[in-house]
Amino acid sequence: MKANRKFVESREAVSAVIGVILMVAITVAIAAVVYIYVSGMMTGAPTATPSVALTADPSDKNCTITVGSPTQRNINWSDVEWTVVNVTDGEDITDKLNISTPDGELKGGQIISVK
């Protein structure tokens, strides 16, 4: 019965070609994971939206401007959008007012005029 065997016994578990293919596939997978991880770190920190608070004092008819933090610079008056709302009925009265602002960079303590 041993004469009918057509299989050649080999002590190797996997052929060299299959081993190389597996090593290349593992290397490509590791490179892809490293690329995705590094590209996520290169996007940088998100930029903060500048915040400015406006407080009105009805007794002396002045408005006080407070800039959110010292790191928020280069905010120009031309970048500021004004919306004035009537508190009693919620009507937007921005178009009915004449708002005059200084030129240049917005800084704390500057005076605006609302008529």
Report the C-alpha gap between 28 and 22 in whole angstroms.
Answer: 10
Which pTM was predicted?
A: 0.34
Per-run averaged pLDDT (10 residues), the chain, 115 residues: 64 79 96 90 69 70 62 68 77 76 70 67
At residue 89, the 3 state secondary structure works out as coil
Cα 106 from chain centroid (whole Å): 24
Is residue 55 within 8 Å of 67, Cβ to Cβ? no
